Every structure is written in structure tokens, then in C-alpha cells.
């Protein structure tokens, strides 16, 4: 679906949707409890539905897990399923079959699992869904060594799985732990469900902190009875930036857009958007160069680039190399988005440099089947002097199906082409 947005400020109040990151973790933990646990999630999306469907097959002898396009689902379910099963088939769609799974794959292989590509042809492997691999062999405990700068989701998957094994285990993080807030969120959920993980942070080695997670085997997930997914800072970030841009458009300092049900004490790292916005507010009319390190909050980059375009001056986004293996190559697609809208941006191997002028022109944007590119382009329309046309807006269904409903509720004007 393609839409055309007429530029204009947003104003009003919306209810923040449930955190996808928190909901994934609550759903998984609840499914592992002997007693029933009610998980309250106010808003579902395609990624959460993928996890829900996979968890429903945990009682099957040889499950076929269709992870759709959800990297979180695949990376969480891989170690978890092999802690419980002798064989499982994993399917995926979109870019998921192409996205890397190393070094988690190699660590699982050294602990009892075998990965095979193309040996099964499940009946539900249809459309753009394809088999990624078949995994056989039970996961074993022991020592796991993982770099911390590839994907925190590998660590989370193992943290869910290893307490279920007979043996004790240790996860050693051999390099700087990026996206550490997501690991801390996992640990919070595990503690809520009675799982004990000991965390050790070693002294700095070559300026990089190292972590070890000590995990006893034979633990049991204990139902807390009822849990609720908190509000999502990742997706609220788009409307938090929309508030900043709308205030600029009206030349006012009072909030124009309010997002309810966000936990200020959340472990979600993307609440960092508040400090990014405040920094840009203070330097909007200066020529001061800003440098934003996004190693812990990579999902903010698309909307952060839009925010950077709203100020006069240069903003550099660093430590964002992992964005090249998301739903799209997000460094390339953010560069294309800002360029097509008339902005001045430079793409670097692991980051971006935005030369802000305080405004954008408008134009045509390819969503590249990436929900965060589509939403960022919609918010960028606030800065534009001419309409913005976005191709493939259905991509928002991955994380925020009612995004354009909320956009319209706040006064956003668009029509379907």
C-alpha cells in the first residue's frame, strides 16, 4: 500500500502500544511455567504473532517453527526449542533467512546440536516463506562464549534455555556488550518468573567491559499469576520526535504530542530518545556538532536521523554497523530516505552524518519492507514543505499495525494512492 502525506504538525494524546521486546519475553517465560500465567498485551503485531505461534508448538514432538520475518523469534526460539526437543524445523520470510545466526549457531553446534539446510519440505513452507534449517540434537550445558557486539538476542535466547538443562552453564561475553539494556530486560523477566542468573562484570580489559552469566541447571519457571507488557519506548520514539518537530513548527515549548503508559523506570534502552530530543532542542540553532552513540539503541536510528535533520548543524550517528542486517540495510535505507526528502546526509560504513538545515522538502520514499523506515518517513513529513509519498506502508504491521491510525488521530493527513 502506498500513501501520500500532506505535511503538517501533530497534536494530541495517544496510548503507547505494548512493548514488543517486553511482550516477547513475557510470552516465552509464561509458556515455560507449569501453572497458567496470564499475559496481558494490549497490542499484537506480526512479530509477536510469530512468537505466539511458535510457542504453541512446544508440545509437538517435532515442531515446525514459522518465525515469519521476526529475528527475535528465531534467535529466542533456537536455543529454547533445542533445550526441549530432539528435532525442530525453522522457517522464515523476507530477509530473515539471509540474516546471520553466527556465532550462536557455532556455539549450539559445540553443545550438542546439528544444523542442516534444505533436508525437509514442510507443507506450510509456502509463499515467500522458506526453510532456514533443521536442527537436531539436544542442547547441552557448559561454557558458551559469545561476542557482545553482534546481537543481544543470542544472549537472551540462551538465558531462557540454559536454566532448563540438567547441567550448569556459563555465558561469557568476550567483547563490549552492546544493546545491554535488552539483556537487562531479559534478566528482569527471568527474575519475575523465579529464574536466578548470577551476573559478573569483570574489570575493564582494553577499555571494554566483559560480562559472565552464571546459570544453574534444573531450574523451574514459576508463574507469577498475571503479568502485563509495559508501553513501548521503541515505537513511542516516533511520536516523541513528532512532538519535538511539531513544537518547532509552532515555535512553542509546551508539548504538542503526549504518549501515555510509558514506564520512566523501564529497562528498555530506547527511552534514551528523551535525552536525544533534549540535546537537539538545546542545540537546534547552533552549529555545534553532535555525536550520538547508538550501540545500545540501534532501533532509534531512523527517527534519530529525522530529528537530526530538524536542527541547524551536523549530527553524526556512530556504532550503527549492525543496522545493515535488519529488515533492510538500515544505514543505506535511512540515507536514501533523507536524501529523497531533500536532506543532506552521508552514509558511513558504521554510521551516518546528517547536515541539518532545519527543514526537508518532501518527495517519494521506498519503505523497503522495513517498518521503522516507513514510520520515520511519516514523521519526517512534519519537516517537509511538499507532500511525502511512501511506498509499502503495510510494513508497519511488523511492530505497530495501528501506526497510521494514531498518526491520523493526532491530525496527520494522508490518503491511500
Q: Residue 124 — pLDDT band, cuts 50, 70, 90?
A: very low
Better pLDDT: 125 or 131: 131
Average pLDDT over residues 36-58: 96
Write out the H or E segment, with its range, that includes residue 230: none
Exposed, middle or buried: residue 348 (CB in 10 Å: 0-12, 13-18, 19+)? middle
Strands (E) across 69-154 are located at: 87-92, 114-116, 130-136, 142-146
Q: Is the pLDDT of residue 198 over 90?
A: yes
Cα 350 to chain centroid, rounded? 18
How high does pLDDT run on average in the chain?
Answer: 93
Q: Which of 290, 277, 301, 287 is nearest to 350 (CA)?
A: 301
Q: Residue 230 — pLDDT band, cuts 50, 70, 90?
A: very high
Count the Cβ atoms, other than its own, within 10 Å of residue 317: 26
Q: Is the pLDDT of residue 413 over 50?
A: yes
Q: What is the pLDDT of residue 120?
A: 46
The answer to whether the Cα torsion of 23, 25, 31, 34 is positive or negative is negative
Annotation says 299 is catalytic: yes
Average pLDDT over residues 351-362: 95
Q: What is the pLDDT of residue 122?
A: 45
pLDDT tens-digit series, residues 87-115: 999 999 998 998 889 999 999 999 999 99
What region does 201 belong to: left with phi over 0, alpha with psi -120 to 50, or beta? beta
Count the Cβ atoms, other than its own, within 10 Å of residue 363: 16
Q: Residue 121 — pLDDT band, cuts 50, 70, 90?
A: very low
For residues 373 and 376, give the distance between their C-alpha atoms in angstroms, rounded to a whole number: 5
CA distances from 397 to 18, 44, 83, 371, 374 (A): 14, 9, 31, 7, 11
Q: What is the pLDDT of residue 325?
A: 85
Q: Residue 203 — pLDDT band, cuts 50, 70, 90?
A: low
Q: Do the annotations mark residue 25 as ligand-binding?
A: yes
Beta-bridge partners for 13: 258
Q: Among 47, 243, 299, 406, which one carries the catalytic annotation? A: 299
Q: Which of 406, 335, 403, 329 is nearest to 365 (CA)?
A: 335
Q: Do the annotations mark residue 284 as ligand-binding?
A: no
Pairing of strands 87-92, 130-136: antiparallel
pLDDT tens-digit series, residues 290-325: 999 999 999 999 999 999 999 989 999 999 998 998
For residues 352 and 44, give the distance between their C-alpha atoms in angstroms, rounded to a whole number: 32
Q: Residue 384 gets which letter from DSSP?
A: B
Q: What is the pLDDT of residue 287?
A: 83
pLDDT tens-digit series, residues 69-82: 999 999 999 999 99
CA distances from 249 to 133, 178, 225, 335, 361 (A): 51, 35, 47, 24, 14
Q: Do the annotations mark residue 16 as ligand-binding?
A: no
Pairing of strands 413-416, 12-15: unpaired
Q: Do the annotations mark residue 329 as ligand-binding?
A: no
Cα 360 to chain centroid, rounded? 27
Domains of the chain in sequence order: 3-17+231-416 (3.65.10.10), 20-228 (3.65.10.10)
Q: Do the annotations mark residue 130 as ligand-binding?
A: no
Q: Residue 123 — pLDDT band, cuts 50, 70, 90?
A: very low
Q: Do the annotations mark residue 398 as ligand-binding?
A: yes
Average pLDDT over residues 247-266: 84
Q: What percent of the chain has pLDDT over 90?
A: 84
Better pLDDT: 17 or 256: 17
For residues 287 and 254, give the distance between their C-alpha atoms in angstroms, rounded to a whole number: 24
Q: Do the annotations mark residue 326 as ligand-binding?
A: yes
Q: What is the pLDDT of residue 209?
A: 47
Write out the H or E segment, with its range, that includes residue 169: strand 169-173
Exposed, middle or buried: residue 15 (CB in 10 Å: 0-12, 13-18, 19+)? middle
Q: Is the pLDDT of residue 252 over 70?
A: no
Better pLDDT: 210 or 158: 158
Amino acid at each position: 500500500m502506498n500513501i501520500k502525506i500532506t505535511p503538517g504538525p501533530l497534536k494530541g494524546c495517544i496510548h503507547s502500544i505494548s512493548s514488543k521486546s517486553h511482550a516477547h519475553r513475557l510470552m516465552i517465560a509464561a509458556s515455560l511455567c507449569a501453572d497458567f500465567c496470564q499475559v496481558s498485551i494490549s497490542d499484537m503485531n506480526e512479530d509477536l504473532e510469530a512468537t505466539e505461534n511458535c510457542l504453541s508448538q512446544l508440545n509437538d514432538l517435532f515442531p515446525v517453527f514459522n518465525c515469519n520475518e521476526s529475528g527475535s523469534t528465531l534467535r529466542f526460539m533456537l536455543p529454547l526449542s533445542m533445550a526441549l526437543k530432539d528435532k525442530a524445523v525453522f522457517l522464515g520470510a523476507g530477509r530473515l533467512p539471509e540474516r546471520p545466526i553466527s556465532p550462536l549457531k557455532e556455539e549450539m553446534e559445540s553443545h550438542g546440536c546439528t544444523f542442516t539446510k534444505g533436508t525437509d519440505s514442510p507443507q506450510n513452507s509456502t509463499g515467500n516463506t522458506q526453510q532456514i534449517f533443521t536442527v537436531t540434537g539436544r542442547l547441552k550445558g557448559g561454557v558458551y562464549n559469545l561476542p557482545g557486539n553482534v546481537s543481544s538476542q543470542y544472549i537472551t535466547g540462551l538465558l531462557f534455555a540454559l536454566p532448563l538443562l540438567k547441567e550448569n552453564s556459563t555465558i561469557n561475553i568476550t567483547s563490549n556488550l552492546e544493546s545491554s539494556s535488552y539483556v537487562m530486560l531479559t534478566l528482569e523477566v527471568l527474575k519475575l518468573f523465579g529464574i536466578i542468573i548470577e551476573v559478573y562484570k569483570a574489570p575493564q580489559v582494553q577499555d571494554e567491559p566483559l560480562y559472565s552469566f552464571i546459570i544453574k541447571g534444573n531450574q523451574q519457571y514459576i508463574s507469577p499469576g498475571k503479568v502485563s507488557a509495559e508501553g513501548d519506548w521503541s515505537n513511542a520514539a516516533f511520536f516523541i520526535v513528532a512532538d519535538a518537530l511539531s513544537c518547532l513548527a509552532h515555535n512553542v515549548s509546551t508539548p504538542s504530542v503526549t504518549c501515555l503508559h510509558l514506564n520512566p523506570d523501564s529497562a528498555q534502552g530506547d527511552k534514551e530518545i528523551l535525552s536525544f530530543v533534549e540535546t537537539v532542542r538545546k542545540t537546534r540553532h547552533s552549529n555545534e556538532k553532535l555525536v550520538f552513540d547508538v550501540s545500545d539503541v540501534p532501533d532509534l536510528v531512523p527517527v534519530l536521523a529525522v530529528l537530526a535533520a530538524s536542527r541547524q548543524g551536523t549530527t553524526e550517528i556512530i556504532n550503527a554497523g549492525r543496522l545493515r542486517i535488519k529488515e533492510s540495510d538500515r544505514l543505506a535505507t535511512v540515507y536514501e530516505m533523507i536524501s529523497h526528502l531533500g536532506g543532506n546526509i552521508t552514509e558511513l560504513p558504521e554510521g551516518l552524518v546528517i547536515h541539518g538545515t532545519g527543514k526537508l522538502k518532501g518527495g517519494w520514499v521506498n519503505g523497503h519492507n522495513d517498518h521503522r523506515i516507513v514510520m520515520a518517513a511519516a514523521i519526517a513529513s512534519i519537516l517537509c514543505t511538499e507532500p511525502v509519498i511512501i511506498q509499502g506502508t503495510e510494513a508497519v504491521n511488523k511492530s505497530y499495525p495501528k501506526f497510521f491510525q494514531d498518526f491520523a488521530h493526532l491530525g496527520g493527513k494522508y490518503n491511500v494512492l
